[in-house]
Structure 1
């Protein structure tokens, strides 16, 4: 019975990521189509117009967000949302997820380092703020390093002495993938 359950779980782990990705894309496209179909006259409507309209809408939103007044309104909306108890938790979690996945595009992210934590152990970290470390600890040569936690969204920002850091010759995306998956995928042989 345990062997059967193990095989079922292995199958689920193999199928779930792809299945959820395909379902999300299907849900997104069909939702856009369902919203657009009753609005557009039948002679102008064609299948796939919802997806096209969604992409154009996202492009326009991206352009509009760069306007000063809109950024101010978004900032005001953020301030309001983080004051509502339950909404604050959900909204904050979504923002944290987006931040983690955008770390490789963050201009403040300077390099990937190995942090010596003692006892011959090292963890992967990302330099996020040399100036902040100097401002907070002016007497020390400390640097802000973000250390992500494996298998979850989150991490710690620690301020460590520069001599405890060793630059790693890998990209931010690869390092983040290694840290978030605890290096599990990197150890699997290619088949």
Structure 2
């Protein structure tokens, strides 16, 4: 009976990550495919699997092309400014815009460097991600050499942003932000894959 329980847990550990990854992938693909389902049905009189996904991907590429040209870029700038002025929507839109920029944006706008933040006393270090080198909007901290470090929490989505003195961190150039997030998410558990 003890062996049966151990095999069950082992089976869960092996199969659950695979099943959840496949489930999430299928869910995203189906959601994207469904965005143009009404248009596909109007044009062809039936749902054609995959066509909505192609239309969604094509629309995203088209918006990227339009947003890269000087003439059409001004429209997207105007739309961004409009969203930033509407009460309530401004905070929601700003948060989503920054989160998307962090996740899929370029390195300058996302997590830059993995760092260790020294804790007081003998508590050791906390792993974090450097997000800002300068904090000009925080006039209270003028004259203090502080930087912004995001510290993810284990076993959940979320974390804290600490404003720490530059001399309280140690950079970890051998670790990527993705490896650091994975490490923090599972509380340091795992196989200790080689970094760098």
Distance verdict in 2 for CA 1:103–1:126, change over 3 Å: farther
CA contact (8 A) 1:96 1:153 kept: no
Residue 75 (str. 1) matches residue 73 (str. 2): no
Query: How do 1:149-188 and structure 2 match up within 5 A?
Result: 149-169=153-173, 170-187=175-192
Which consecutive residues of structure 2, in runs of 5 or more, have no partner in the other structure?
none
Report the number of matched residues.
181
Tell me the TM-score normalized by structure 2.
0.67
Contact kept, 8 Å, 1:96 with 1:154, in 2: the verdict is no
| SS of the residue 1:80 aligns to | coil
Q: Does the Cα contact within 8 Å between 2:111 and 2:130 map onto a contact in 1? A: yes
- Structure 1 residue 116: Cα displacement: 0.5
Aligned-residue RMSD, C-alpha: 4.0
Please name the residue that 2:32 is paired with: 28
Conserved 8 A contact 1:97-1:153 = no
Structure 1-normalised TM-score?
A: 0.68
> CA 1:136 to 1:64, structure 2 compared with 1: closer, same or farther past 3 Å?
farther
State the distance in 2 between where 1:104 and 1:151 align: 27
Shift of residue 60, structure 1, vs aligned partner: 1.2
Match of 1:115 in 2: 117
State the distance in 1 between where 2:99 and 2:43 align: 35
Q: Which residue of 1 aligns with 2:135?
A: 132
Name stretches of at least 5 consecutive residues in structure 1 with no aligned partner: none
**Displacement, 1:139?**
3.5
Pick closer, same or farther for the CA change 1:41–1:178 going to 2, 3 Å: same
Alpha-carbon distance, 1:143 to partner: 2.3
Q: 1:130 to 1:168 in 2, by over 3 A?
A: same
Distance change in 2, residues 1:140/1:41 (3 Å) = closer
The CA deviation string for residues 151-187 of structure 1, in whole angstroms up to 9 with x for no partner, is 3333222222222111112122222222233333455
Q: Are 1:108 and 1:129, in contact at CA under 8 Å, matched by a contact in 2?
A: no
Out of 132-141 and 109-118, give the one that drifted further: 132-141
Cα distance 1:17–1:47, how it changes in 2: closer, same or farther (>3 A)? closer
Q: Residues 102 and 136 of structure 1: is their aligned pair in 2 closer, same or farther, counting only changes over 3 Å? A: farther
Cα offsets for 1:67-112 (capped at 9, x unmatched): 123222133124426259xx95xx6775575355347734464422
Report if the CA contact (8 A) 2:116-2:126 is conserved: yes
Q: How does 1:28-47 map to 2 (within 5 A)?
A: 28-29=32-33, 31-32=34-35, 34-40=37-43
